[in-house]
Amino acid sequence: MKRALIIIIAMWPWLIVPFLAAAQDSSKVIAMENLWNRAELNNDAPAVRLLLADDFVMTVAEGTLYNKSQIVASVADKSYRPEALQSSNMVVHSYGNTAVVTGAYYERGVDKGKAWERRGRFTDTWMNLDGRWQCIASHFSVKPK
The domain 2-142 having CATH identifier 3.40.640.10: the answer here is no
Distance CA 95, CA 34 (A): 21
pLDDT at res. 14: 46
For residues 103 and 12, the model is more confident at 103
Q: Is the pTM of this model over 0.85?
A: no
Distance CA 127, CA 76 (A): 24
Kindly state the greatest CA–CA separation across the chain. Answer: 73
Domain positions in the chain: 2-142
Share of the chain above pLDDT 70, in %: 83
pLDDT in tens, 69-88: 999 999 999 998 999 999 99
DSSP 119: E
Q: How confident is the model at residue 57 (pLDDT cuts 50, 70, 90)?
A: very high
